[in-house]
Amino acid sequence: MATAKIKAKTKAERAKLAKVSGESATHSAIKQELIAAGKVLVAEGQDDFTRGHISFRLPDRPGLFFMKPHSIGLDEITMQNILTIDLEGNVVAGAARRHSEVYIHSEIFKVRSDVNCVIHTHPTYSIALSATGRPLKCLSQPGALFYDALGVYADTINLIRTTSMGMGVARALGSGRGVLLKNHGVVVTGASIAEAVIGTIMLENGAKIQLITEAAGEYAPEFPRADIENLKRDISRPEQFQINFDYLARRVKRRG
């Protein structure tokens, strides 16, 4: 009987150890991808000094998320400085300083269970478009990704430093993919890191093409809604986001 109990206990301990080990491996892989994402975003011109941040929800503990810390660039994220934060914006693991705009992330995670990654950056053309007050149009394929899926937050140009402000951004997001923060920046979401990163880059490309087109004068009408929605579906496939993210990550490595 005693031997059976010892064996049962040992089996349970092994199972627990295996679970912890698996979680650790998963967390490590997520952090590695966050590091790669930061480098890709900088390489694509999404950096603004040390401003801008990226987060990812822990798959095994959805009430927590990893996040880039304050005072470093997106390309300076490391395994050691990534913070673990709860949905109230409290740091539960990590010694680095937390971004004051953490509430962008926490409030979106609270209301969007389908979102696992949130990115906030200050890209030039997206900010310029937001300042015009005009919506993003489908004047390019990148624009199609955000067709009927881009909100606008116009309450303030200031930093999103309170829960109520974060809730405002989450409301502007609604069920969409992203938000233009008027005269400030963008917030882009995704089910994966790859989806959010590629979405952020495509939003900037779409805004750039639109501003160039509008500056050129009159332009032809957008394609019919059905045609745009077909393209949107085609370029929204998860494997496409991952393929393109992996390519950009490889390119960053090649460039050193």
Instruction: Tell me how far CA of residue 97 lies from CA of 68, 74, 104, 250, in angstroms.
Output: 10, 14, 16, 30
H or E, element range at 55: strand 53-57
User: Residues 53-64: pLDDT tens digits?
Assistant: 999 999 999 999
pLDDT at site 11: 60
- Domain regions of the chain by residue span: 16-255
- Smallest Cα–Cα separation from 160: which of 201, 92, 108? 108
User: Residues 164-178: pLDDT tens digits?
Assistant: 999 999 999 999 999
Q: Has residue 213 got a pLDDT over 70?
A: yes
- Smallest Cα–Cα separation from 47: which of 67, 80, 76, 82? 76
User: Residues 100-109: pLDDT tens digits?
Assistant: 999 999 999 9
Q: How many CB atoms lie within 10 A of CB 76?
A: 15
When the pLDDT of each residue in the chain is averaged and rounded to a whole number, the result is 94
- Find the helix packing angle between 2-43 and 238-255, rounded to 10°: 70
Asked if residue 152 lies in contact with residue 130, where contact means CB atoms within 8 angstroms, the answer is yes
User: Residues 229-255: pLDDT tens digits?
Assistant: 999 999 999 999 999 999 999 999 999
157: Cβ contacts below 8 Å, ≥ 6 apart = 182, 183, 184
Domain 16-255 sits in CATH at: 3.40.225.10
| CA angle in degrees (0–180, nearest 5) for 141-39-243 | 45
- Smallest Cα–Cα separation from 126: which of 150, 98, 109? 150
